[in-house]
């Protein structure tokens, strides 16, 4: 099954790879990170970035879309600095943003345990964890500011776990050998978000921040030509009144989160969506590495066709639980306690004797899918398969006693029991992988500015720090690093230099953007077809999961692209959205989001198709070692794939839908400070 | 399972609204309550009836966005969020009434959706520690005794869902407010603004139209995070202290 990649795969040199699915454009690079030693780049950039006179700040306005860690922190910080900030979220309060659901913790290179941690080591671990597909300069800065985040959060009153002496507690997380993870029980995301939220609300009271809840961004306003093409505002829909509003500003920040819901089922919140990012992409912001998604192995399986979302359980469960499926398909519907030891396949222990049940997330996930695809999954049949494997604590309970297991995992067992109605102390748990996070996102430079001037992207919405796989406890770190410390320092350079705009509500660029939103909204309501928005979303999710999930192949991806195109075509002919545009209309909201997912899904498949290597969380069937392990190709693929949108040439023009042939721009990843290595877990 | 649902429908703030009866059949006991409503909405959409509007987001019991009065109980018969309530908590053939949170301070937007902006405004009035970005000392500069840190954490578990208000016969927001007062008041960082915070938040709470605490304890019973009623005692104590200090 191995293959030597000799450049015949269409990814290099060809003018119309894969039958014209994409074309290749000029290479790009980040020009903002200063020269010099990596330790001094950020200090230098902060010094070189222009300042804005405090008296002028209130005359400068910044729009921030999203109120999670990245958006909420940035809005609060820019408000404190005295800028005029407009903060938008689609939820009923900024405190609902999905950062709130993060459980595990937040990394910081504090070295409070004196166990050898340092900025350098966090930097190294993060680049290695990302399988050498992230940008060194950005990751170093992330590690560098990580310690400040903890100080800031403690000052705000975030109740981190503490030891009896009153100092902060740390734990080791995600297989890392130092204890650098700060946590607040299983609710770290909630506590950090409430900290940022309170800082934000303080600025709302101080009138530096205007807060718009239940407002959804549906278009970005871009004005000017060539070197003067700049983001100047956004079009939003007031989700309560339906009014289409125009908001102009000197800069726009997207902190709108990840797009894991393209898979329909994920651990994301119901409302998490790609629309803000995708609308910006359609206006010229490059989308980088869209196929990089993280799939988490220990989620509660789907219980039936009604399933609306998936719930993650901490993967610490794999420390003591043993994963298995029946050896024989006939046993799959039996009570697991009645399946004899010799009829069980502890497949991770069998395939990976050294690491066993503690293999990395992507391997545990992929092998679970493999055994289910073989027909050896357990639990309810959903679609064609039983999609679940056992995570069995019987041995652990016998070895450690029930009390010890309860002390360690009690809250997780309770959560499992609540959702499934089964008692995990008596019957083995069932688990299955689920989409959890996306490393891909809008391309940004060192300043977190996208390929549209004046449009900045922070947090999960950008691509920059996690490469092809994200380490545990790093998402919260990145969101807050971007929001509190990076963006406020880089955006001022832009704000100090941006020429004043004479754009008004009546300028052509603004009217055009507003009309496009109104027309699109009317279009959804006028199709009046047979199928619900959810049914399209679910079908798209199945395609993505099957062909663009943990294991990808050329054949599968080509098929997926065909299926998605067909589905998108049907969507615009046959979706049924009832009600009107001038009230709260949740079906209408979903229609806009799913329409954008239907385009993103195709781009993800094209990106996955062109990346003919296994790396990070992604296994490419055509790129494996002789014993079936992931094989990376640094000679060919050590670059960021930044995709440029091209408009369609067809009937769907005018409603902001449809897509032409995307253009690939490569940003070469240069490793000056870290040596590239292949990983092995056998 | 087959169920009869009586669900509050209201097209907007100016509509009078009323309960509408729906039948659902073949409901799996493994569905969450909101997934059962998803199924009903799919059926309504197929029939050409507008789906029922209700709020939910994380569906993991942590964001606080969901919240329904289910047969008279905030978040239903179990002590959890609506999204974490499953149909196995109901009996086949049961009639279930579904209404929005009812409180003057939470006006109805549509159907089961209410406006909880009053909670944001209470936080704006003082539910924070003033610490500008970049101004923080080292995180270990101020140790926090573990009992205080644990109590702060317990109070900080509040998800701002509003079940306490919905459950209270007087629509009081004092459990919500007391949780924030207790969270910040237990920490050394929260001391400088402690007096001003409680006075300002209580003023805003009353201004929003929430009622006073009547010591019934329904709030704490309904709270999916189990915030205990003693945070209200803490609130009252802090208020008395602040007034004594001349606030």
What DSSP character marks residue A645?
A: P
Question: Do the chains contact at B57 and A535, CB–CB below 8 Å?
Answer: no
CA distances from B214 to A90, A246, A586, B219, B229 (A): 35, 46, 37, 10, 11
Say yes or no: B128 contacts chain A, CB-CB below 8 A.
yes
Topology classification of domain A296-436: Flavocytochrome C3; Chain A, domain 1 (3.90.700)
User: What are the tens digits of pLDDT across the range B41-66?
Assistant: 999 999 999 999 999 999 999 999 99
| pLDDT confidence of residue A652 | 53
Model confidence, pTM: 0.96
Residue A633 has pLDDT above 80, yes or no: yes
| pLDDT confidence of residue A407 | 84
* Distance separating alpha carbons of residues B191 and A129, to the nearest angstrom: 41
Q: What integer is the mean pLDDT of A190-194?
A: 98
* Phi then psi dihedrals of residue A222, to 5 deg: -120, 130
User: What are the tens digits of pLDDT across the range A394-439?
Assistant: 999 999 999 999 988 888 899 899 999 999 999 999 999 999 999 9
Topology classification of domain B116-130+142-244: Fumarate Reductase Iron-sulfur Protein; Chain B, domain 2 (1.10.1060)
| pLDDT confidence of residue A103 | 87
| pLDDT confidence of residue A209 | 98
Question: Confidence class of residue A680 from pLDDT cuts 50, 70 and 90?
Answer: low
Chain A, nearest residue to B34 by Cα: A308
* Distance separating alpha carbons of residues A565 and A650, to the nearest angstrom: 13
| pLDDT confidence of residue B69 | 98
* Distance separating alpha carbons of residues A154 and A78, to the nearest angstrom: 20
- What ipTM goes with this model? 0.98
Domain with CATH 1.10.1060.10 in chain B: 116-130+142-244
Question: Do the chains contact at B125 and A156, CB–CB below 8 Å?
Answer: no
In 3D space, the residue among A74, A65, A69 whose CA is nearest the CA of residue A479 turns out to be: A69
Q: What integer is the mean pLDDT of B15-37?
A: 97
Cα A141 to the chain's mean position, in Å?
Answer: 20
User: What are the tens digits of pLDDT across the range B130-147?
Assistant: 999 999 999 999 999 999
Residue A383 has pLDDT above 90, yes or no: no
Residue A514 has pLDDT above 90, yes or no: yes
Question: Do the chains contact at A586 and B131, CB–CB below 8 Å?
Answer: no
SS (H, E, C) B161-225: CCHHHHHCCCCECHHHHHHHHHHHHCCHHHCCCHHHHHHHHHHHHHHCCCECCCCCCHHHHHCCC
* Distance separating alpha carbons of residues A167 and A159, to the nearest angstrom: 11
* Distance separating alpha carbons of residues A210 and A204, to the nearest angstrom: 6
| pLDDT confidence of residue A651 | 52
Question: Do the chains contact at A73 and B133, CB–CB below 8 Å?
Answer: yes
User: What are the tens digits of pLDDT across the range B77-111?
Assistant: 999 999 999 999 999 999 999 999 999 999 999 99
Question: To the nearest whole number, what is the mean pLDDT of chain A?
Answer: 93
| pLDDT confidence of residue A650 | 67
Question: Do the chains contact at A167 and B140, CB–CB below 8 Å?
Answer: yes
Q: Which chain A residues have a beta carbon less than 8 Å from that of B88?
A: 421
Q: Which chain B residues have a beta carbon less than 8 Å from that of A586?
A: 51, 53
**Dihedral sign from CA coordinates of A460, A464, A468, A469:** negative
Question: Confidence class of residue A155 from pLDDT cuts 50, 70 and 90?
Answer: very high
Chain A, nearest residue to B61 by Cα: A101
CA distances from A21 to A15, A641, A673, B17 (A): 10, 15, 36, 52
**Dihedral sign from CA coordinates of A607, A611, A616, A621:** positive
Question: Do the chains contact at B57 and A213, CB–CB below 8 Å?
Answer: no
Residue B211 has pLDDT above 80, yes or no: yes
Residue A82 has pLDDT above 70, yes or no: yes
Chain B, nearest residue to A269 by Cα: B58
For the question of residue A361 being annotated catalytic, the response is yes
| pLDDT confidence of residue A6 | 36
Percent of chain B's residues with pLDDT above 70: 100
Output the CATH code of domain A506-668: 1.20.58.100
User: What are the tens digits of pLDDT across the range A525-555?
Assistant: 999 999 999 999 999 999 999 999 999 999 9
Domain with CATH 3.10.20.30 in chain B: 3-108
* Distance separating alpha carbons of residues A510 and B4, to the nearest angstrom: 49
Q: Which chain A residues have a beta carbon less than 8 Å from that of B63?
A: 91, 95-98, 100-101, 269
Say yes or no: B38 contacts chain A, CB-CB below 8 A.
yes
| pLDDT confidence of residue A365 | 92
Q: Which chain A residues have a beta carbon less than 8 Å from that of B55?
A: 92
**Dihedral sign from CA coordinates of B129, B135, B140, B142:** negative
Residue A332 has pLDDT above 90, yes or no: yes
User: What are the tens digits of pLDDT across the range B183-202?
Assistant: 999 999 999 999 999 999 99
Question: Do the chains contact at A92 and B62, CB–CB below 8 Å?
Answer: no
Percent of chain A's residues with pLDDT above 90: 86
Residue A13 has pLDDT above 60, yes or no: no
CATH number of B3-108, picked from 1.20.81.30, 3.10.20.30, 3.40.50.2000, 3.30.70.890: 3.10.20.30
User: What are the tens digits of pLDDT across the range A543-601?
Assistant: 999 999 999 999 999 999 999 999 999 999 999 999 999 999 999 999 999 999 999 99
| pLDDT confidence of residue A382 | 83
- Closest Cβ–Cβ partner in A157, A419, A420 for B183: A157
Q: What integer is the mean pLDDT of A139-160?
A: 98
Say yes or no: B20 contacts chain A, CB-CB below 8 A.
no
Distance from the B212 Cα atom to the nearest Cα atom in chain A, whole angstroms: 24
In 3D space, the residue among A439, A485, A470 whose CA is nearest the CA of residue A70 turns out to be: A485
């Amino acid at each position: 099954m191995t293959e030597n990649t000799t450049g015949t795969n269409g990814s290099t040199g060809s003018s119309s790879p894969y039958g014209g699915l994409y074309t290749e454009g000029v290479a790009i690079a980040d020009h903002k990170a200063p020269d010099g030693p990596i330790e001094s780049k950020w200090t230098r950039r902060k010094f070189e970035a222009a300042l804005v006179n405090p008296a002028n700040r209130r005359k400068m306005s910044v729009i921030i879309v999203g109120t999670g860690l990245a958006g909420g922190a940035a809005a609060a910080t820019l408000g404190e600095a005295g800028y005029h900030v407009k903060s938008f979220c689609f939820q009923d309060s900024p405190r609902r943003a999905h950062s709130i659901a993060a459980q595990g913790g937040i990394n910081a290179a504090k070295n409070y345990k004196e166990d050898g941690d340092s900025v350098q080591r966090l930097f190294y671990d993060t680049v290695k964890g990302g399988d050498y597909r992230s940008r060194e300069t950005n990751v170093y800065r992330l590690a560098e500011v990580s310690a400040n985040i903890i100080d800031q959060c403690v000052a705000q009153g975030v109740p981190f776990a503490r030891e009896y002496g009153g100092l902060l507690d740390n734990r080791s997380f995600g297989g890392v050998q130092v204890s650098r993870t700060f946590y607040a029980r299983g609710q770290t995301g909630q506590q950090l978000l409430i900290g940022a939220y309170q800082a934000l609300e303080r600025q709302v009271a101080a009138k530096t921040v205007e807060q718009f809840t239940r407002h959804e961004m549906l278009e970005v306003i871009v004005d000017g030509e060539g070197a003067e093409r700049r983001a100047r505002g956004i079009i939003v829909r007031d989700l309560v009144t339906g009014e289409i509003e125009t908001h102009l500003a000197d800069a726009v920040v997207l902190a709108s989160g990840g797009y894991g819901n393209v898979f329909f089922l994920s651990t994301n919140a119901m409302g998490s969506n790609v629309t803000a990012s995708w609308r910006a992409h359609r206006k010229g912001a490059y989308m980088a590495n869209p196929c990089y998604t993280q799939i988490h192995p220990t989620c509660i399986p789907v219980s039936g066709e009604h399933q609306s979302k998936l719930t993650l359980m901490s993967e610490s469960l794999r420390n003591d639980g043993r994963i298995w499926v029946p050896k024989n398909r006939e046993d799959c519907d039996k009570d697991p306690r009645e399946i004899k030891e010799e009829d069980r396949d502890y497949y991770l222990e069998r395939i990976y004797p050294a690491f066993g049940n503690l293999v990395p997330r992507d391997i545990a996930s992929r092998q679970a899918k493999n055994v289910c695809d073989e027909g050896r999954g357990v639990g309810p049949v959903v679609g064609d398969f039983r999609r679940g494997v056992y995570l069995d604590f019987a041995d652990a309970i016998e070895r450690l006693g029930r009390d010890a297991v309860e002390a360690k995992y009690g809250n997780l067992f309770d959560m499992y029991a609540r959702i499934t109605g089964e008692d995990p102390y008596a019957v083995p748990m069932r688990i299955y992988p689920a989409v959890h996070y996306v490393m891909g996102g809008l391309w940004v430079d060192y300043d977190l500015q996208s390929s549209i001037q004046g449009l900045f992207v922070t947090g999960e919405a950008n691509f920059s720090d996690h490469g092809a796989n994200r380490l545990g406890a790093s998402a919260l770190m990145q969101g807050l690093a971007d929001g509190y410390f990076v963006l406020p320092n880089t955006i001022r350079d832009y704000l100090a230099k941006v020429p004043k705009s004479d754009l008004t509500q009546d300028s052509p660029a603004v009217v055009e953007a507003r009309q496009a939103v109104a027309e699109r909204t009317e279009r959804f309501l006028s199709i009046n077809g047979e199928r619900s928005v959810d049914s399209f979303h679910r079908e798209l999710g199945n395609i993505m999961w099957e062909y663009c999930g943990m294991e990808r192949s050329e054949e599968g991806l080509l098929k997926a692209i065909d299926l998605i195109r067909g589905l998108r075509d049907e969507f615009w002919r046959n979706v049924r959205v009832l009600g009107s545009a001038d009230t709260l209309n949740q079906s209408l909201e979903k229609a806009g989001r799913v329409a954008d997912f239907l385009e993103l899904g195709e781009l993800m498949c094209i990106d996955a198709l062109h990346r003919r290597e296994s790396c990070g969380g992604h296994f490419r069937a055509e790129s494996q070692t002789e014993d079936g392990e992931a094989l990376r190709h640094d000679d060919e693929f050590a670059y960021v794939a930044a995709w440029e949108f091209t408009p369609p040439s067809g009937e769907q023009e005018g409603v902001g839908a449809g897509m032409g042939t995307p253009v690939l721009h490569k940003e070469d990843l240069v490793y000056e400070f870290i040596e590239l290595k292949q990983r092995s877990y056998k | 399972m087959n169920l009869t649902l009586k669900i509050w429908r209201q097209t907007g703030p100016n509509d009078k609204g009323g309960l509408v009866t729906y039948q659902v059949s073949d409901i799996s006991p493994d569905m969450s309550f909101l997934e059962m409503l998803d199924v009903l909405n799919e059926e309504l959409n197929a029939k050409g009836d507008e789906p029922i509007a209700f709020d939910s987001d994380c569906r993991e019991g942590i964001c606080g966005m969901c919240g329904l009065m289910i047969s008279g109980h905030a978040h239903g018969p179990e002590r959890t969020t609506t999204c974490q309530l499953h149909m196995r908590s109901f009996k086949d053939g049961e009639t279930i009434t579904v209404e929005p949170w009812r409180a003057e301070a939470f006006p109805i937007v549509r159907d089961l959706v209410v406006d909880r902006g009053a909670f944001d405004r209470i936080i704006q009035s003082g539910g924070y520690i003033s610490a500008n970005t970049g101004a923080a000392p080292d995180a270990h500069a101020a140790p926090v005794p573990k009992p205080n840190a644990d109590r702060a954490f317990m109070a900080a578990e509040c998800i701002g869902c509003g079940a306490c208000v919905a459950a209270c016969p007087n629509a009081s927001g004092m459990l919500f407010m007391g949780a924030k007062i207790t969270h910040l008041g237990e920490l050394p960082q929260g001391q400088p603004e402690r007096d001003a915070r409680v006075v300002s938040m209580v003023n805003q709470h009353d201004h929003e139209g929430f009622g006073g605490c009547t010591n019934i304890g329904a709030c704490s019973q309904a709270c999916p995070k189990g915030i205990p009623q003693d945070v209200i005692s803490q609130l009252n104590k802090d208020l008395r202290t602040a007034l004594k200090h001349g606030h």
